[in-house]
Amino acid sequence: MLSVRLNNTLESQLQVVSNQKHLSKSQVIKDALVYYFDMLQKESNQKTAYELGSDLFGKYSSGDGTLSTTYKQKLKDKINAKNNN
């Protein structure tokens, strides 16, 4: 057995839902707790963005691990090669 204190707003909302659904207030609270715990379970089972894309990262790699640090020089070399032709 559990007792819960609700503020006036929550208690009136509970009464409205209870009347609309033709359920006892206890049943509405039980259903709400089941829904809440299910949502928590789903959140804990969700994969992160990294986990979702981990099989795609590096899939189409150039094999050159210096591209992020040498891109300016590589771009200059390509422009110079194009202009020299």
Q: What is the pLDDT along the chain (85 residues), one digit of tens a residue?
A: 889 999 999 999 999 999 999 999 999 999 999 999 999 998 888 888 888 888 888 777 777 778 788 889 989 999 999 888 7
Q: Looking at residue 61, what is its pLDDT?
A: 75
The predicted model scores a pTM of 0.54
Q: Looking at residue 39, what is its pLDDT?
A: 92
* 81: helix, strand or coil: helix
- The CA-based angle 5-10-15, given to 5 degrees, is 100
Residue (of 30, 29, 1) closest to 14 by Cα position: 29
Q: Looking at residue 64, what is its pLDDT?
A: 78
